[in-house]
Amino acid sequence: MRKKVVAGNWKMNNDLIMSNDLIYSIKLKLNKDNDTDIFISPSFPFLNESIKHCKGTKIKVLAQNVNENKSGAYTGEVSLSMLKSIGIDSVLIGHSERREYYHETDDILLKKLSNSLDEGFKVFFCIGESLNDRKNDLHFDVIEKQLKNTIFKIEKINHENLIIAYEPVWAIGTGLTASPDQAQEIHAFIRKNIAQRFGENFSNNISIIYGGSVKPDSASDIFSKVDVDGGLIGGASLNAQDFVKIVNSI
């Protein structure tokens, strides 16, 4: 059975005090009976502290990125072993902002993905098309290419260690949101392609979540779609009340 997942990507927001306060507020408002897998993704300097504050709760801490190399002279970068040493076992890879601003290619992302899975990490792997791709009716081609260049090049994957996050790039930070039907259409397409590559059982058990400016008032309609298993939440995850409302809308 597919797991329901909601992850908050805090991006480059919140200092230490703000991060701690946000965690405290989420814990206070969260319904303990909710069976959704819940992740928060603070900035690197606050991961260790965040883990301590989330201990004993159902909230898990997710790293926003990791370097594709195991170690070495890569100033300012963070490795899988560093994350593992503080208790982090899940990582976000391939976010559209990493692809666009830091020019992370499919080859780089494949290396990150492969290394992370080899080390037993749970990977949130992002794919999605730009506004130009969507306008030119290329969204299916773009999604298929991103899958073939990365995930599909790995021979064997435990479905429990991979979550695919579909993020229409045209809806990131723009206030635009794909309609529930648009989200379902792409999620179904992704699941169909996964079934062709890894089999029906794998496809039926992998969680595919939506990440495109989800808000409390739009979440339930999007999450109600059969192939949408949750969300990767950006701006709304910086507000405890909004984030918990989104979690409760599944």
Instruction: Give how far Cα 80 sits from Cα of 52, 106, 123, 171, 191, Å.
Output: 19, 19, 12, 30, 28
**Known catalytic membership, residue 53:** no
**Known catalytic membership, residue 95:** yes
Host H or E run for residue 38: strand 37-41
Catalytic entry in 97, 104, 129, 167: 167
Q: Residue 5: what are its φ and ψ, rounded to 5°? A: -135, 135
Instruction: Give how far Cα 21 sits from Cα of 15, 237, 245, Å.
Output: 10, 13, 18
DSSP string, 122-188: EEEEEE---HHHHHTT-HHHHHHHHHHHTGGGSS---GGGEEEEE--GGGSSSS----HHHHHHHHH
Catalytic entry in 95, 97, 129, 139: 95
Angle between helices 180-198 and 216-223 (to 10 degrees): 40
User: Which positions are catalytic?
Assistant: 95, 167
